[in-house]
Amino acid sequence: MRTALRVVLLAALAGGGAYLLLRQEAPAAAVAVQRAEPDYFAFVPSMAGTRPDGAARASGGRLEVNAELAYLFDYYLAGLGERPLEAIRAEIIRELRRRLPPAPAAEATRLLDAWLAYKRALVEVERGLPPQTDPLLRARQRLAAMQQLRGAYFSNEEITGLFGASDAYDLDAIARLEINSDASLNEAQRKQKLSALDAALPPKAREEKDAPTRVLRLEEAVTAARAGGADDNEVYRLRSAALSPAAAARLADVDREEADWQRRIATYQAQRRELLQNAAPAAAVQQLRDGIFSTDEQKRLPAYE
């Protein structure tokens, strides 16, 4: 596994997901689970072995309208292309009825239909936005168009619950784009303004934003520990303290996979060199590949040849 991919995994484990600039209100990514759990979404093959993102909850007999409900909708809508919309809508409704009492489930179903209508209308609105090469202006136009459209489908309370968190992310991202594109600022002024934005972030958003930096420091610490003679158990304890025991165990699996990959690559490169030096036919080289790597793994080999 290349370092960049390892950092992405570490960031996901540390912060629950990377800090996203200008969230696109697109289907939320499915979260893969390692332990044996029910197959929540078997009728969409690409999501087999995942569990729904988001949540649907009720309090005092009323539906909680929040970003978690939107994430739940978008998790299932990520299956578009593999299943028709009506089949996915029916599955979401089944999930809502499973999680909620009848009255909140009915309210959530109404919101689901409003959500679907809003997403369809949003596609048309985005198509109608004027061409714009300035990313800052484009971001402002898009956010304004989304905010204006929502009033046709949701109440003010629903808009705050469903979109408040994503709007906060978007406004913060736009502010950062504005600071970074302001040619009148010197480097010290730019850093000061960005630091002020960091300080104003809600704790959860700040944690997600800082996750990549934290995990880079962790990976540097692991590298230094190994260079100093630390064994796998010591590395596990280091990662467990920084992340969690489960995350440390998953990263130990990644380490083993990486070590196995590097071992097989070294074997392949040495034997391939010998074949080429002896003018072996291409079929012999392919036979070597087939003996060491799977078909999918062979797609990565050009980078090592």
- Residues 46 and 122 reside in one and the same domain: yes
**Quick check: is 220 in a domain?**
yes
**Quick check: is 176 in a domain?**
no
**175 Cβ contact partners less than 8 Å away, ≥ 6 residues apart:** 197
Query: Which of these, 294, 292, 299, lies nearest to 272 by C-alpha position?
Result: 292
- Number of separate domains in the chain: 2
User: Which three-class secondary structure state does DSSP give residue 217?
Assistant: helix
- Residues 234 and 112 reside in one and the same domain: no
Q: By mean pLDDT, which of 26-35, 178-187, 195-204, 233-242 is the weakest? A: 26-35
| Mean pLDDT along residues 23-36 | 38
Residue pair 193/185 in contact (Cβ under 8 Å)? The answer is yes
- Residues 211 and 299 reside in one and the same domain: yes
Q: Is the pLDDT of residue 32 over 90?
A: no
Chain-centroid distance of CA 180 in Å reads: 25
- Residues 282 and 219 reside in one and the same domain: yes
- Residues 51 and 141 reside in one and the same domain: yes
Confidence of residue 30 (pLDDT cuts 50, 70, 90): very low
Task: Let me know if 211 is exposed, middle or buried by CB neighbors in 10 A (0-12, 13-18, 19+).
Answer: buried
Amino acid identity, position 125 = V
- Distances, alpha carbon 31 to alpha carbons 12, 50, 55, 230, in Å: 10, 6, 13, 32
Query: Which of these, 10, 4, 56, lies nearest to 212 by C-alpha position?
Result: 10
Q: Is the pLDDT of residue 139 over 80?
A: yes
- Residues 245 and 131 reside in one and the same domain: no
**167 Cβ contact partners less than 8 Å away, ≥ 6 residues apart:** 143, 147
Single out the residue in 109, 137, 163 at which a domain terminates: 163
Chain segment 243-256, per-residue pLDDT in tens: 888 888 888 988 89
The boundaries of the domain holding residue 276 are 207-304
- Residues 28 and 142 reside in one and the same domain: yes
- Its pTM surpasses 0.75: no
Q: How far apart are CA 293 and CA 305, in angstroms?
A: 14
- Residues 32 and 152 reside in one and the same domain: yes
**288 Cβ contact partners less than 8 Å away, ≥ 6 residues apart:** 268, 271, 272, 275
